[in-house]
Amino acid sequence: MNAVERLGLCALHRMDPERAHGLSLRALRAGLVPLAGVVSGPRLAVDLAGLRLPNPVGLAAGYDKNAVALAALTRAGFGFVEVGAATPRPQPGNPRPRLFRLTEDRAVINRFGFNNEGAAAIGARLAAHPRGTVPVGLNLGANKDSADRAGDFAAVLASCGPHVDFATVNVSSPNTERLRDLQGRAALAALLARVMEVRAGLARRVPVFLKIAPDLTGDEIAEIAEVALDAGVDAIIATNTTLSREGLKSASRDQAGGLSGAPLFEKSTRVLAQLSAATGGRLPLVGVGGIGSAADAYAKIRAGASAVQLYSALVYQGLSLAADVGRGLDAALARDGFDSVAQAVGSGRGDWL
C-alpha cells in the first residue's frame, strides 16, 4: 500500500461506511486511485469454466453493484470482476444504516438487501464496456417483493446475459427474506432449470455459476453439489456471508446481516474443501471468504479452489491488495514447485476435512 492509498483509506474510515463505499467508486471513476494494471504470468493463468483468466484473483460481487467503475476495476490487478447483484426492477434495499465496519475483527456486516438500479441500467453499462482480457460477470438477484424469484433470476440473465462473460445465481444472501430457501434440492433444481433454459437461448454460451452460503451442513453441501452437477452449472462460488457471530469483539458485532471478512475464513474454507470432495474435481470452485493475503488465497486454492475472490479485506488494505495477492500467489507456486495454479488445486484439501 502506497502513501496515497494509505491516506485515502484513513479519510474513508472517518466517514459513514456506506458513504465511504460510494466515494471510493467515484474516486475510481475519476481516475484518482492508483491502478496496478493486469497482473499475469504463465503460472497464474487459469481456465475457469472456459474463461481465460490472467490470474485467479477476482473481485466479488457487491462492491460495484451497478457496474459504474468497470474500466478502472479491470485495470486494478484482478483476473476477473463480478458486479451486481442485479434484480429485474430497481430497488432501494433495506433501510440505513445497513453497513458496519468491525475494525477489531477485520470484518464487515452488511444488510443491504440487493439495492441496485435494476437490470436495464446495469445491462446498458455492461453492454458499453468493451470485452477484454479480464472477464466481467454479473451476480443475478431477485426482487424482494417478487412472487416468482426463480423467474427473476431468469429474467436478469435474459436481459444482461449477452453482455457478460459469466453469470452467478445468488441464492445465498441472508439479506433478502427466505432467499436461502432456494438452496433446497427441489427449489434449487427448478430455479437452475429455468436459468439454463434462458442460457440455451442466448447467442453465445455464458458460463453459469452458483453462489452458496457458508452456513450449511455436510449433507446440504453434498445435495447442492449433486443438484449443480445435474443442472450443468459451470462452477460453484463458496461462499457468501455468514449469520454466525462466533468470537467477534467489535461493538457492532450484534448488528443484523451477513458477516464477511477475516472471521469467515475458516468456516468458508471448510465448506470449500467439503464441496471439493463432494464434486470430485468435476466442477471448478471459486473460494471466497476472509482472504486478506496471498497465503489465504493459496490456502483456498489448496483446499480445492481454481480461483478466489476478494472484497472485505479491501476495506482495510486497499485496492492494491489484488495485485499483492496475485504476485504473492505466483511466488508461492514457484516455491512449492507448481508450474500452474491448476497443479496446486486441492493439494491441501485434507487439511480442511
Q: Quick: pLDDT tens for 62-99.
A: 999 999 999 999 999 999 999 999 999 999 999 999 99
Residue 62 lies in a domain: yes
Half-sphere exposure of 268 (CA within 13 A, CB side): 35
The answer to the question of whether 242 is labelled as a binding residue is no
The CATH number of the domain holding residue 46 is 3.20.20.70
Q: Please state, rounded to an integer, the average pLDDT across all residues of the chain.
A: 96
Nearest to 65 by CA among 146, 156, 150, 133: 156
Residue 353 lies in a domain: no
The tens digit of pLDDT for each residue in 109-154 reads 999 999 999 999 999 999 999 989 999 999 999 999 999 999 999 9
Q: Extract the C-alpha cell encoding 206.
A: 455464458
pLDDT at res. 182: 78
Structure confidence at residue 184 as a pLDDT band (50, 70, 90): confident
Sequence-distant (6+) residues with CB within 8 A of 200 are: none
Q: Which of 24, 146, 159, 173 is catalytic?
A: 173
The answer to the question of whether 78 is labelled as a binding residue is no
Residue 53 lies in a domain: yes
Structure confidence at residue 213 as a pLDDT band (50, 70, 90): very high
Q: Do residues 140 and 153 touch, judged by C-beta distance below 8 A? A: yes
Residue 183 lies in a domain: yes
pLDDT at res. 173: 80
Structure confidence at residue 330 as a pLDDT band (50, 70, 90): very high
The answer to the question of whether 240 is labelled as a binding residue is yes
Bridge partners for 81 per DSSP: 59, 136
320 is catalytic: no
Residue 282 lies in a domain: yes
Counting the structural domains of the chain, the total is 1
- Residue 160: domain span: 37-338
The answer to the question of whether 295 is labelled as a binding residue is no
Half-sphere exposure of 151 (CA within 13 A, CB side): 6
Residue 76 lies in a domain: yes
pTM: 0.97
pLDDT at res. 177: 64
Q: Extract the C-alpha cell encoding 46.
A: 487459469
Q: Extract the C-alpha cell encoding 73.
A: 476495476
Residue 3 lies in a domain: no
Structure confidence at residue 253 as a pLDDT band (50, 70, 90): very high
pLDDT at 181 over 80: no
The CA angle 151-156-162, to the nearest 5 degrees, is 130
Residue 325 lies in a domain: yes
Q: What is the mean pLDDT of residues 230-242?
A: 97
